Homo-oligomer: A and B are copies of this chain.
């Protein structure tokens, strides 16, 4: 017994001594994040002192000022604001809707205007409903069955997909293009089932587009909660002649001035090679935008802080970019890429966190096979932290405009199960973010950035997909 104990101790000390520099650096990063993380405090301020940060709002501007001041306090080499004009859409007074089964017999249901929608007429819209499972149903129904009615898009998110982002992708066309398409058949308005896998009473907003539909022909679009959608669908089955009423006062104003917030640590040996880590500072207006994407912003800020505090001096220039207007315009992401192009800046890597502040599981990469293989060599280093996903896939909306450069794009992949419970809804709030989960995400991002900086990427390999 005693011998085996001694042996065990000997082995343990050998393991400690055999620890590589990389293992040590990752351990320092994770330890610091879990003991003295700043991200949760920053998020608390963004969420509880500022709140929802819709582009063009006072809150969005307060968030620019706050995050710039925080980056200033970190002692980076440079912190600046990058001007960008953003759309300003305002929700107005709370929306209101009901199902009318007979004249005078009504049931209220929770709705919210989709971002970018026009208002209803002052008195609201009351019309018959036609339920569809998607845009493709419109053609089958034709103008005679749609004209003057409210089109109700009710295809639910597919529950059997393990990644809830895949389920979302399979549904979101109803929200984004549903009004533009239904308008072509003479619909009076559209109601879209909220993009969540839960049955609850929260309507989930999100961006929509009228495409090239003339302003005069635009019809109002709203999201209905999933419970509301179930009730509406069941009521329609009993009586297809019921009416639906809704009223919303949203309005599009002229574009206003806003900013991307940027901070950087200048590279020691390859200062002209830029690595970006970021999230988006704007959010929807219903909740406080804690998961989408306050979490990604504070994690990205934390990446620079963690590397700095652990004493690591990046060879390449490391930038945190807090992008403005991801939700309803992507102006910040486009502006950043445009300026980079104009200045001939060479980007080798960009990482976005915009999938919620949940337990990190790994990354998906938009890069060449060669670079994926190169990165997958580091998988073992992440095993102690239960990070296991290193796959091809989506990176992030804000960094995608950089794609014409010779770089690796990456997205943090947190556990996705709860994301759409909160996404774009009133309950995307601070208390639903767990401090450790948030900080583990930041540490995981910082670890990848460290490895990319140290070992570089494989240049001149084409991004596929």
Chain A residues at the B interface, C-beta cutoff of 8 Å? 30-31, 34-35, 159-160, 162, 164, 197-198, 359, 361, 384-386, 388-389, 415, 417-418, 421, 434-437, 440
Contacts and interface: CB of A to CB of B under 8 A. Distances in A.
Contacts of A386: 162, 361, 388-389
Contact of A31 (B160, B164, B434): B160
B160 A30 contact: yes
Given A162-B384, A162-B386, A415-B415, 12 more contacts: A30-B162, A35-B159, A162-B385, A164-B436, A197-B436, A359-B359, A359-B417, A361-B386, A386-B388, A417-B436, A418-B436, A421-B434
A418 B437 contact: yes
A161 to B, nearest CB: 9
A301 B197 CA distance: 23
A35 B160 contact: yes
Contact of A440 (B31, B417, B435, B437): B417
Closest 6 A/B residue pairs (Cβ): A388-B388, A34-B159, A31-B160, A417-B436, A417-B437, A359-B415
Nearest to A413: B386
A437 B159 CA distance: 12
A171 to B, nearest CB: 16
5 contacts: A30-B162, A198-B435, A359-B417, A386-B389, A418-B437
A388 B388 CA distance: 8
A198 B438 CA distance: 13
Contacts of A434: 417-418, 421
A434 B30 CA distance: 27
A308 to B, nearest CB: 19
A437 B198 CA distance: 12
Central interface residue in A35, A162, A164, A198, by most chain B CB within 10 Å: A162
Contacts of A437: 417-418
Contacts of A162: 30, 384-386, 440
A277 to B, nearest CB: 22
A383 to B, nearest CB: 10
Nearest to A35: B159
Nearest to A383: B388
Nearest to A32: B160
Contacts of A389: 386
Contacts of A361: 386
A5 to B, nearest CB: 14
A421 B159 CA distance: 28
Contacts of A159: 34-35, 436
A457 B361 CA distance: 30
A362 to B, nearest CB: 9
Nearest to A160: B31
A252 to B, nearest CB: 36
